[in-house]
Amino acid sequence: FPRTQEFDVQWQASMKDNGAQAGSANTEESARDAQDDTVKTEQASKRQRKARGRIDYRGKTYLAPLTTVGNLPFRRVCKEFGVNITCSEMAIAGNIIQGQGSELALLKRHASEDIFGVQLAGNRADIVGKAAEFVSNNCDVDFIDLNMGCPIDMAFNNGGGSALLAHPRKIERIVRTMLAATDCDITVKFRTGISRDVNVAHKLVPQFASWGTALGTLHGRSRQQRYTKVADWDYIGECQNVAETMPLFGGGDVMSWEDYWGHMETQKQCDGIMIGRGALIKPWLFREIEERRVWDISASERLDMLRQFTRFGMEHWGTDTQGIANVRRYLLEWQSFLHRYIPAGILEVLPQKINERPPAFVGRNDLETLLSSPLASDWVKISEMLLGPVPDDFTFVPKHKSNSYE
C-alpha cells in the first residue's frame, strides 16, 4: 500500500542537510499544522467517498468481477469504453487476513475507476468480517461485495460461493458482520439457487433488503447450470418485484445493446445489469449500450485495443522479463474469449447471441481472420505482434479452455 503523506513529510525532513537552517519555530509549527490539515482533509475525503448509501446504483452498467481475466488492465480497457461500475477479481477472505501478497494485489484500484468495489469469498462470518474490515480501512473502495455465485468445485466444496445459498442464517451472520465492520456499502452477488429446478433467490432478496444491503446482483442460472442453458430473466424480474428498496441487478447472456435495453426498459426486469462474458468477448459493448447502436469495429481497431491493454499491463505488472510474461499470459487468457466475437459486418442476423458457437469463418481481411482463430498458437502470434517473440520454452494452457500451446 502507498505510504501516507505524513510519512513522506517526515522522511523528507530527515533527509535535509544537518547544517541547513529550518527557519523559525513559528514557521515550522505553521508548516506542520498545514501538513496535518492536508492529511486530515485527505482522510475526510476518503471517508466521504466510502460513506454508506452515497451511491445510486440504478441504471448504471456494471462489469462483473471476473477471476483471472478481470484484472486491473482489463478493467481500464472497459472504463475507456464507458462502463460505470467495476469490481476486483474475487479475493479469498482468509488469504486477505493472512496477508498473502498475491491476494492483496487484487485489491488495487486505478484512478479511472470512479465506482469501484472489492469482492470477497468465504464461509465464516468472523473471517469475512475481518477481511472486510481490513479492506474498508486500508483500501480505496466504494463497496465490498459478498460472493455467493461462484460455481466452481473448489469454492463450493469448501462451503463458499454458491454453497452459501443453502444456509440463509449463515448468510445473515456474514452480511451483518460485514456491515458492522465497515463504513462502505455492502453488496451481494448470487445465483437462482444450487439445483436447476429449486430456486431460492426470491426468498433471500427481501432479507438482503431488510439487512441493509446496498445492492443485489442475481445471475439468472443455478450453480448446477454453471454457464450453460439460457439465463432465466423472467425469474430475475420476479425477484425484482420483492426487492423492496434495494436495487436488484440482473446478469446472464447480455451481449448486445438490444439485450441490455430489452431487459431494462421493455421487460423492466431489473434496476441495472452486470455484464461478464459479454464484456470479455466485446468490451466495446458498453459504448454500444450507451449509444444504442451496433459498432462494426474494424480488425485494426481491435488490435489497437489489445495494444492499449499491453500498455496498461506493463504499467501494472512491469516491463522486466516477469512483467512482460504476466502481460502476455493475461492477454492470451483474454484472447480465449475475444476470438468468439463475430464481426457485425459479416453476421447474417444481428445481434450475435452469447451461447451461439458458429463454424470457422474467413474475415474481411487477414487480421480479422487471425483475431477470430480458436487456436492458441494464433493467439500467441497476436501476442508476438505486440510484445515480441515468446521464449523458446514458452507454453500456454488457457485457464478457461482446454486448447493449449506448446
User: What positions carry a catalytic annotation?
Assistant: 150
Element (H, E) at 398: none
In contact, 150 and 156? CB cutoff 8 Å: yes
Q: What are the residues whose beta carbons fall under 8 Å from the beta carbon of 256, sequence distance 6 or more?
A: 278, 285, 288, 294, 350, 351, 352
- CA-wise closest residue to 386 among 319, 282, 311: 311
Task: Give 54's DSSP letter.
Answer: -
One-letter amino acid of 323: G
Residue 154 φ then ψ, to 5°: -60, -45
| Interacting residues of 132 by C-beta distance below 8 A, sequence separation 6+ | 93, 120, 144, 177, 178, 181, 182, 186
Residue type, 112: S
Please count the other Cβ atoms lying within 10 Å of the Cβ belonging to residue 140.
17
Report which of 64, 67, 55 is spatially closest to residue 83, judged by C-alpha positions: 64
3-state class percentages of the chain: helix first, strand second, coil last, to nearest 5: 50, 10, 40
Taking the C-alpha atoms of residue 394 and residue 325, their distance in angstroms, rounded to an integer, is 10
Cell of 111: 484512478
For 111-131, b/e burial (b = at least 16 CB within 10 A) is eebebbbbbbbbbbbebbbbb
Distance CA 83, CA 275 (A): 10
Rounded CA separation 160/147 (Å): 8
- Does residue 368 contact residue 339 with C-beta atoms inside 8 Å? no
